[in-house]
Amino acid sequence: MKTWRSQARVGLPRVCCCRPRRFAASAHCGKARPQAVATSADGSLPSFTFRVTAKQAASSKLRLDIFLAAQIAADLAAAPPGSQAQDVSRAKIQASISGGLVRVNGRPASKASQQLKAGDCVECVLPPPPPVQAVPEAIPLDIKYEDEHVIVVNKPAGMVVHVAPGHYTGTLVNALLHHCALPAMDLDPDLDLDLDLDLERNHGGGSGGTRENGDGDGDLDDDDDLGEGDDDGDGDGDGSDPGGSDRAQRGGGEGGGGARRLGRLGTGSSASSSGAGGGGGGGGGVGLGVGGGCLRPGIVHRLDKGTSGLLVVAKTEVALTRLQAQFKARTVDRLYDSITVGCPAQRQGRVETNIVRDPRDRKRMAAAPYGSGRGRTAGSGYTVVTPLAGGGAALVRWKLDTGRTHQIRVHARHLGHPLLGDATYGGTASTALAAVARSFPSDAVRRCVEHLGRPALHARTLGFEHPTSGQRLAFEQPPPEDFLRALQQLGWEPGAGAEVEAGRG
């Protein structure tokens, strides 16, 4: 069995994508290039002040929104370590302009496309983030096991696990709130909702120590897309929650005892579960790990939007804490089925790298030298179950040692065999499709990818100790219909691969 370990290279630059925090700095429009991150008059919102230089105005048609987006991004990037500030998009800048929060030479800006000239003094206040609420929704769930402590669900491809920017409804959390007869969760509007930030933040890199939010090795966030969630966000196993101390889990708040259920965030009250969710709750505080602004109630690990398969959710704080400990100790069994572009030369192998934010695209992750101190270490074992498409593809099964964001997807690409259908990591590129079609009809390959419409990845098995009884629980879920159809389109014959179809609920 071959181990693919990325080796350290001399001179490899350290990549840090840590989000700067807000900091105060004096600035005056008389300066050539002030860096102004201050607060608005009432002290609640970040404000910025810039003067347009002659060099900046030399470019034709210097638009107000483009100028502000570039200048504010540059100032935030220059923020000292440990400072805090909002990231800003051009859309947010345009919202500030339309809301009357931008002034040019002391007068409200007329429109986003307003032209600037040298010497113009531009002041901008960023709008507050919109309120966010996770609302119970009657979404069907494929529940494989449930008692008063845990739920094991078979997540369909296309479902985001939890509320995130662009995904405020239709998530697994919305469905679970309804299933357990729990009220809506009011989420802190100041909560950092970008759930897939740099893995180095608050981790220190290396092998990864215990983090403030108690997930240790980070099995609280993987496949949700980085930006969707998905992910994938957007990936493959279960990954680290790069959220930092703002989402620290404080273990249930004050008052009351026993295994408390999910309560409304910040209300200091506990909601009892009726219906299938089971039982009442004890005492005050909040349960299911939402104390302190945690966005993911009871979510111990995660699957990307495009990943299907098994996922366990904690219904009590005791279950949450003990399941997190199992993920940290790497005693949770997880196998994933995938379809790769090309067939790995070694029937069995292992990939060991660090996983970091891709410096060229913050919505992707990338492999870095193992143990290099950048990002966090990640280990995946793989087995080729059967070649497909005449060797142009393969059914590959993965066993995770760690659960980093997009781990399987990154490691598959690192091997030179990205997951089929994974647009983020090259699984839909023309070269990839050509490789699959090397000994197989190209039309069949194209139809396969179009019909699949997602990375070919499925969380097949899940095994863990019950958090209260200690009984070992094991679940297996065969791939869904779209995955099986893709296998058939690539030449796999039902019945010839019993290990693909066999499983128990």
Tens of pLDDT, residue by residue over 138-184, are 999 999 999 999 999 999 999 999 887 678 889 999 999 999 988 88
Share of the chain above pLDDT 70, in %: 64
Q: What is the pLDDT of residue 46?
A: 74
At residue 505, does pLDDT exceed 50? no
Instruction: List the catalytic residue out of 231, 304, 358, 422.
Output: 304
H or E element, residue 48: strand 46-51
Q: Which residues contact 155 (CB under 8 A, 6 or more apart)?
A: 142, 161, 172, 303, 307, 308, 309, 310, 311, 459
Q: What is the pLDDT of residue 129?
A: 66
Residue ranges, CATH 3.30.2350.10, the chain: 333-501
DSSP code string of 115-181: B--TT-EEEEEPPPPPPEEE--------EEEE-SSEEEEEEPTT--SS-BTTBSSSSHHHHHHHHTT
**CA 444 – CA 450 distance, rounded (Å):** 10
H or E element, residue 353: strand 348-357
Of the candidate ranges 1-5, 243-247, 409-413, 501-505, the one whose mean pLDDT is the lowest: 243-247
User: CA nearest 252: which of 295, 290, 307, 302?
Assistant: 290
Structure tokens, 297: 């109630």
**CA 395 – CA 342 distance, rounded (Å):** 10
At residue 11, does pLDDT exceed 90? no
Residue ranges, CATH 3.10.290.10, the chain: 38-125
Q: What is the pLDDT of residue 23?
A: 31
**CA 336 – CA 399 distance, rounded (Å):** 7
**CA 299 – CA 289 distance, rounded (Å):** 8
At residue 480, does pLDDT exceed 60? yes
Q: 3-class DSSP state for residue 352? A: strand
Q: 3-class DSSP state for residue 342? A: coil
User: CA nearest 391: which of 422, 424, 435?
Assistant: 435
Known catalytic residue: 443?
A: no
Residue 423 Cα distances to 66, 97, 388, angstroms: 29, 35, 20
H or E element, residue 449: helix 442-452
Dihedral Cα 307, 239, 267, 130, nearest 10 deg: -70
* Adjacent-strand bridge partners of 341: 393
Q: What is the pLDDT of residue 289?
A: 37
Q: 3-class DSSP state for residue 185? A: strand
Q: What is the pLDDT of residue 204?
A: 34
Phi-psi region at 109: left, alpha or beta (left = phi > 0; alpha = psi -120 to 50)? beta
Most confident of 33-37, 227-231, 499-503: 499-503
Q: What is the pLDDT of residue 50?
A: 94
User: CA nearest 407: which of 351, 339, 469?
Assistant: 351
* Adjacent-strand bridge partners of 349: 2, 382
**280-328 pLDDT tens trace:** 333 222 334 344 334 455 888 999 999 999 999 999 889 999 999 999 9
**CA 3 – CA 378 distance, rounded (Å):** 13
H or E element, residue 355: strand 348-357
Mean pLDDT for 395-424 is 95
Distance of CA 28 to the CA centre of its chain: 39
Mean pLDDT for 91-119 is 90
Q: How far apart are the first and last CA of the chain?
A: 32
The answer to whether 322 touches 243, Cβ cutoff 8 Å, is: no
Distance of CA 423 to the CA centre of its chain: 16
The answer to whether 232 touches 406, Cβ cutoff 8 Å, is: yes
**CA 22 – CA 205 distance, rounded (Å):** 24
Distance of CA 38 to the CA centre of its chain: 30
Please give the CATH superfamily to which domain 333-501 belongs.
Pseudouridine synthase (3.30.2350.10)
Most confident of 95-104, 239-248, 413-422: 413-422
* Adjacent-strand bridge partners of 464: 473
pLDDT band at 131 (very low <50, low <70, confident <90, very high): low
User: CA nearest 239: which of 301, 193, 323, 295?
Assistant: 301
The answer to whether 327 touches 313, Cβ cutoff 8 Å, is: no
**CA 159 – CA 184 distance, rounded (Å):** 19
At residue 272, does pLDDT exceed 70? no
- Angle at Cα 94 formed by Cα 89 and Cα 95, nearest 5°? 95
Q: What is the pLDDT of residue 103?
A: 94
The CATH number of the structural domain formed by 38-125 is 3.10.290.10
DSSP code string of 66-88: HHHHHHHHHHHHTPPTT-B----
**CA 320 – CA 215 distance, rounded (Å):** 10
Q: What is the pLDDT of residue 299?
A: 86
